Structure 1
Amino acid sequence: MPSTVVVGGFFGDEGKGKIISYLAQNDNPSIVVRGGAGPNAGHTIEDGNKKYKVRMLPSGFLNKKARLMIGPGVVVHPDVLHKEIEEFGTAQRSFVDNNCGIIEKTHTDADGGGRLKEKIGSTGSGTGPANADRAMRTLKMAKEIPSLKPYLIDVAQELHTALDAEENVLVEGTQGTFLSLWHGTYPFVTSKDVTASGICADIGLGPKNVDDVMVVFKSYVTRVGTGTLQGELPMDEVAKRGWSEIGTVTGRQRRAAEFDFALAKRAVMLNSATQIALTKLDVLFPECAHKNSFEDLSAAAKKFITDIEDKTDVAVMLIGTGPGVTDIIDLRE
């Protein structure tokens, strides 16, 4: 009954797409299933000379044997989903729960301006308004949409059938801990809870059926849009350090700060993390680029990792040393 839940530890943009893509190919899960808010979350995956941007399907699609599922807690934009299924050639192994909510034009229109766009910094994807309608019990369900009929499935049942057969299941979270509606920097948050508990609820996985919770941290902190960012650096300093980044969905410049140990410790607490994945070590320590062995890391990089482990009391098990899926150090047994 091996299941691993992967969630973001900061404000999204931690590199979850890379970590999930690696786990999907290395651990060979039979199912990769996505929880989270909706297509307001974007994951970027680099595989060789190809770069993929994903908003609806799980990031584990590069494992061609894995079934890709979207849990009932996720709101789905059919056009975005169809485009990704066609682009990635996953029609035979993509599935949507019957009870996924549906984003319609009224939702994207409501999300494209006004308070959500101007004050909160919404992505304009329609996710927040759709989740609001779901809370009001007026939202359409996936089972009402003819174009989704070939993909409809009972995700929770499929997950538990796989776990009973002792197959690997990989659970993909979106956004980051401090964008959670409950635990984040309200009101500058997403439209639901995106901690490990919320992601599991989205897909129908109970607490006793979770083996590991992996929290993903980037080697520095970034945030798109408005909201608190402790220790925020001026944009010229961000550029000088080589930390300049653009949001996958929004195309906006990400704000940045140095790694926040206190925030990391709280994320570990809120998610009951059993493992940490650390990404972009090569950006902080360029001499570590493309390394695949912990022993080959510089003394400064090793100390940084040890400090994270000491201050969070959780082991760093995966270390990203470059943008590619294989630029990784795997310290798991």
Structure 2
Amino acid sequence: MTCNILVGGGWGDEGKGKCITYLCYHDEPEIIARAGVGPNAGHSVEFNGEKYGLRMIPSGFVHTGARLLIGAGVLVDPEVFHYELDYLNKYNVKQRTFADYRCAIIEEEHKQQDKASDHLYKKIGSTGTGCGPANRDRALRTVKQAQDMESMEGFTTDVPLEVNTALDEGKDVFIEGSQGFGLSLYYGTYPFVTSKDTTASSMSADVGVGPTRIDDVIVVFKSYITRVGEGPFPSEMQPEEAEKMGLEEFGTVTGRKRRIGLFDMEMAKESCMINGATQIALTCVDRLYPSCERVTEYSDLSGEIKRFVEEIEDATKVPVTIISTGPDLKDTIDLREELI
């Protein structure tokens, strides 16, 4: 039995979707549970030559033997939820995807309020998906729950009961977080943050799993760092420099151009400390070091990349166990066995 959590170490967009897909496809957990804020976070998944952009359904859907759950701490937009069920129909997700009956529901009024707010939409850089207003109503105890919605009938369950029963039976559970450490309402670059905490502790609470049941916390860092929207960015580079390096990117949910910066070692240290990281996944190494594209053996990496990995491990005191060298699942260096 294992129960592992994966979270973002930056401001989101770290490549969590690729890492989640890889880990779930290879480790085959019985339950994959989504934690985090809600549909304001997009995960990109590339599998068998096809690309998927997801905002509600767990990114580990490619493991077709897993039950896909959405924790009570996650905001659900029924429109997005049902769109993705249809979108991923060939993976039989309708028969195995369920939200906790206590999930708070995003309604149209929440999205309108989000976009109409100069503070949220223009100053903070909200995605406009209604998450902030919905979490406000949740705190005021006026929001509707999934169990109150006819559109969610047949798609709800008791997620903590399912997850903890599975662990009691010796089954494996994987909890996938969204957003990133720098967007935490508590520990991020306030006020340019999301509407709740995004650290591993909250991800555990989102799906109703106590901290004593967690085995590993995997924190994902991109080899450079990106940010969508406003807020402090100490290591940010000029757009012209990023374009010259071939690091131009756009947000999965908003389509907005991402701001680009160099890897922030101080932020990585703080992220690992507060998340209680036991492993690090390092993504987009091929974007920063094109010579390592699609490399699958650590020994085949250049000395420059190995020194970069060692610097991260020395600074954070956490081992780098997953290195992504391309978008496809096979473009991965897996060093987890070396920890055993």
Q: TM-score range by the shorter chain?
A: over 0.9
Instruction: Show the counterpart of 1:83.
Output: 83
Alignment-mate amino acid for residue 99 of structure 2: V
Letter in 2 for 1:159: V
State the match for 2:125 in structure 1.
121
1:135-154 equivalences under 5 Å are 135-154=139-158
8 A contact 1:40–1:125 mirrored in 2: yes
Q: Tell me which residue corresponds to 2:3.
A: 3
Deviations 1:294-323, CA, capped at 9 Å, x for gaps: 001011011110111011100000000001
Counterpart-to-counterpart distance in 1, 2:312 and 2:246: 22
The answer to whether the Cα contact below 8 Å between 1:173 and 1:199 also exists between their aligned partners in 2 is: yes
Equivalent position to 1:176, from 166, 176, 180: 180
| Equivalence for 1:330 | 334
- State the distance in 1 between where 2:304 and 2:13 align: 24
Alpha-carbon distance between aligned partners in 1 of 2:202 and 2:88, rounded to the nearest angstrom: 28
Asked if the contact 2:297/2:333 (under 8 Å) is kept, the reply is yes
C-alpha displacement at 1:266, in angstroms?
0.4
Instruction: Specify the alignment match of 2:322 in structure 1.
Output: 318
5 Å matches for 1:1-333? Answer: 1-89=1-89, 90-113=93-116, 114-333=118-337
In the alignment, the residues of structure 1 paired with residue 66 and residue 87 of structure 2 have an alpha-carbon distance, to the nearest angstrom, of 17
The alignment partner of 1:112 has SS state of helix
Secondary structure of 1:156's aligned partner: helix
CA drift at 1:83: 0.5
| Deviation for aligned residue 1:10 | 0.6
Tell me the SS of whatever aligns to 1:278: strand
Q: Aligned equivalents of 2:253 and 2:305: distance in 1?
A: 31
**Amino acid in the other structure paired with 1:258:** L
Give, in whole Å, the separation in 1 of the partners of 2:271 and 2:206: 19
> Which 10-residue stretch deviates more, 274-283 or 42-51?
42-51
Shift of 1:165: 1.1
Distance, in Å, in 1 between the alignment partners of 2:232 and 2:179 is: 16
Please, what TM-score do these two structures have when normalized by structure 1?
0.99
* Distance apart, 1:259 and its partner CA: 0.5
Q: Aligned partner of 1:129: which letter?
A: P
**Shift, 1:49, TM fit:** 1.8
Q: Partner of 1:110: helix, strand, or coil?
A: helix
- Following TM superposition, where does structure 1 have runs of at least 4 consecutive aligned residues deviating by more than 3 angstroms? none
State the 1:60 CA deviation: 0.3
Contact kept, 8 Å, 2:235 with 2:263, in 1: the verdict is: no
Say if 2:58 and 2:176, in contact at 8 Å, map to a contact too: yes
Judge conservation of contact 2:280–2:321 (CA < 8 Å) in 1: yes
User: Deviations for 1:168-203, whole angstroms, at most 9, x for unmatched residues?
Assistant: 100000000010000000000000001000111111
**For the residues of structure 2 that align with 1:122 and 1:257, how far apart are their CA atoms?**
21
- TM-score normalised by length of structure 2: 0.97
**What's the offset of the Cα at 1:48?**
2.8
Q: What amino acid sits opposite 1:126 in the alignment?
A: G
Amino acid at match of 1:95: F
Amino acid at match of 2:47: D
8 Å CA contact 2:217, 2:279 repeated in 1? yes
Deviations 1:191-216 (A, max 9, x none): 00010001111110111000000000
Q: Distance in 2 between matches of 1:262 and 1:39?
A: 29
**Secondary structure of the corresponding residue to residue 287 of structure 1:** helix
| Counterpart-to-counterpart distance in 2, 1:93 and 1:185 | 37
Q: Deviations over 1:45-64 (max 9, x none)?
A: 11132000000011000111
- Give me the CA root mean square deviation: 0.6
Residue identity opposite 2:107 in structure 1: E
1:261-296 Cα distance to aligned partner (Å, 9 max, x none): 111000000100000000000011101000110001
Kept after mapping to 2: 8 A contact 1:45/1:325: no
How far apart are the structure 1 equivalents of 2:170 and 2:99?
22
- Aligned to 2:165, what secondary structure does the other structure show? helix
How many angstroms apart in 1 are the aligned matches of 2:290 and 2:227? 22
